[in-house]
């Protein structure tokens, strides 16, 4: 038999991976929002993009 410990280890490893994946997604969203804001600001006021909130 494999034993009971590997099931707990599997759950812990999967929980850590899911947490890291969510953390990476949050960082990616924040980076993309800042990048889009920079690109809109670089276009200038005559581009019709409107005010950057």
Contacts of residue 47, defined as CB under 8 A and 6 or more positions apart, other chains included, come to 40
- Local confidence band at 10 (pLDDT 50, 70, 90 cut-offs): very high
Please, which pLDDT band fits residue 43 given cuts at 50, 70 and 90? confident
What confidence tens digit (pLDDT) does each residue in 27-40 have? 999 999 999 999 88
Please report which confidence band the pLDDT of residue 50 belongs to, taking 50, 70 and 90 as the band edges.
Answer: low
Question: Residue 41 contacts by C-beta under 8 Å, 6 or more apart in sequence?
Answer: 52
- The kind and range of the H/E element at 16 are helix 5-43
Question: What is the pTM assigned to this prediction?
Answer: 0.60
Residue 8 tokens, joined? 């707990």
Q: What are the pLDDT digits (tens) for 11-28?
A: 999 999 999 999 999 999
Q: Are 41 and 52 in contact (CB under 8 A)?
A: yes
């Amino acid at each position: 038999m494999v034993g009971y410990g590997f099931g707990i280890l599997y759950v812990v490893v999967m929980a850590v991976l899911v947490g890291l994946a969510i953390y990476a997604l949050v960082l990616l969203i924040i980076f993309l929002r800042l990048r889009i804001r920079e690109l809109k600001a670089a276009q200038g006021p005559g581009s019709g993009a409107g005010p950057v909130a």
